[in-house]
């Protein structure tokens, strides 16, 4: 492997910044510590991201949407899109991304349902 000038410059800048931070920490008696945050803390944070939205609109499981009519699924997609755009405007991008993924899943289910409902082409 070859170390380019750009990589060398980036490493030197990182070392310089680290030295400045260490000097600051020593001068102010700061001992760096690793944060202790579990996965459950993050999941809880994301679930609380939108407290004013009923949980029935969020995180629908497969069983919740299996029996829904296509028209109801389309209404749900529209509701989730509105919620996604609102979350993005409020700079809650992680939540908006989760909604985007849920919308993609629902659209796939709608497409699959439409393909099953479409009449088969006549054989000639």
* pLDDT, tens only, 12-62: 999 999 999 999 999 999 999 987 766 556 556 656 655 555 444 444 555
Question: Is 58 within the bounds of a domain?
Answer: yes
Same domain, 73 and 17: no
Q: CB–CB of 79/99 below 8 Å?
A: no
Q: For residue 67, what are the CA distances in angstroms to 54, 63, 109, 119?
A: 20, 7, 11, 21
pLDDT of residue 57: 46
Same domain, 27 and 60: no
Same domain, 57 and 95: yes
Domain count, the chain: 2
Q: CB–CB of 70/114 below 8 Å?
A: yes
Q: Supply the range of the domain harboring residue 9.
A: 1-31
More confident residue, 93 or 49: 93
Q: Is the pTM of this model over 0.85?
A: no
* Residue range 105-124, pLDDT digits in tens: 889 888 888 887 777 666 66
pLDDT of residue 110: 85
């Amino acid at each position: 492997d070859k170390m380019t000038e750009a990589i060398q410059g980036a490493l030197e800048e990182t070392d310089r910044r680290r030295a400045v931070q260490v000097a600051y920490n020593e001068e102010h008696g700061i001992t760096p510590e690793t944060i202790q945050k579990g996965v459950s803390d993050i999941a809880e944070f994301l679930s609380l991201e939108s407290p004013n939205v009923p949980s029935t609109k969020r995180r629908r499981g497969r069983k919740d949407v299996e029996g829904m009519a296509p028209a109801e699924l389309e209404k749900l997609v529209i509701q989730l899109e509105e919620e996604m755009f609102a979350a993005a405007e409020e700079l809650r991008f992680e939540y908006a991304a989760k909604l985007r993924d849920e919308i993609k899943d629902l659209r796939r289910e709608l497409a699959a349902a439409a393909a099953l409902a479409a009449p088969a082409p006549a054989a000639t």
